[in-house]
Amino acid sequence: MKNKNNRLFTLDKFIEESLYNKKHGYYMKKNPFGEGGDFITAPSISILFSEMIAIWIISFWEKLDCPKQFNLIELGAGNGEMMRVLVNTFNKFPQFKNSCKINILEKSELLKQTQKINIKDAKIKWLNNLNELNNFPCIFIANEFFDALPIKQFLKKEKKWYERHVNFSNDKKLNYLDIPFDMQKFEKKIKFKISYKQTFIEYSPLTIKYLKIIINKIKLNNGGILIIDYAYLEKEMKNTLQAVSKHKYCNVLKSFRNSDITYNLSFNLINNIIKKFGSYTSLSTTQEKFLTKIGILDRAEILSKNMPFSEKADIYFRIKRLIDESQMGHLFKVMFITNHKNKFKLGF
Q: Which stretch binds ligand SAM (CB under 6 A): 60-68, 99-107, 175-183, 297-305?
A: 99-107
Is there a contact between 265 and 225 (Cβ–Cβ < 8 Å)? Answer: no
Please provide the DSSP assignment of 253-317 as one string. Answer: TTTTTTSEEE--EEHHHHHHHHHHH--EEEEEEEHHHHHHHHTHHHHHHHHHTTS-HHHHHHHHH
Strand order in the sheet with 248-250: 248-250, 242-245, 260-262
- Position closest to ligand SAM via CB: 76
Contacts with ligand SAM by CB under 6 A: the residue count is 17
Of 149 and 218, the one with the shorter C-beta distance to ligand SAM is 149
Least separation in angstroms between CB 310 and ligand SAM: 26
Q: Candidates 145-153, 185-193, 276-284, 302-310 — which segment interacts with ligand SAM by CB under 6 A?
A: 145-153
Sign of the Cα pseudo-torsion (336, 339, 344, 348, in order): positive
Tell me the window of 9-17, 57-65, 105-113, 132-140 that interacts with ligand SAM (CB under 6 A). Answer: 105-113
| Residue 41 beta carbon to ligand SAM: minimum distance, rounded to whole angstroms | 3
Which 2-41 positions form the footprint of ligand SAM (CB under 6 A)?
A: 27, 41
* 69, 75 Cβ separation under 8 angstroms: no
By beta-carbon proximity to ligand SAM, the closer residue of 51 and 106 is: 106
The H or E element spanning position 135 is none
Q: Which of 107, 219, 312, 318 binds ligand SAM (CB under 6 A)?
A: 107
- Nearest distance from C-beta of residue 8 to ligand SAM, angstroms: 23
Which of 299, 289, 347, 345 shows the shortest CA–CA distance to 322?
A: 289
Tell me if 204 contacts ligand SAM by CB under 6 A.
Answer: no
Instruction: Examine residue 105 and tell whether it contacts ligand SAM (CB under 6 A).
Output: yes
In the chain, the DSSP E strands lie at 8-10, 70-75, 100-105, 125-127, 138-143, 152-157, 160-167, 175-180, 200-203, 223-232, 242-245, 248-250, 260-262, 265-266, 280-286, 332-339
Between 188 and 246, CB nearer to ligand SAM: 246
Tell me whether residue 82 or residue 231 sits nearer to ligand SAM (CB atom).
82
Q: How many CB atoms lie within 10 A of CB 144?
A: 21
- Please tell me whether residue 77 binds ligand SAM under the rule CB under 6 A: yes
DSSP state of 341: T
36 to 75: interface string for ligand SAM, x by CB under 6 A: -----x-x--------------------------------
The residue ranges that bind ligand SAM (CB under 6 A) are 27, 41, 43, 76-78, 82, 105-108, 111, 143-145, 148-149
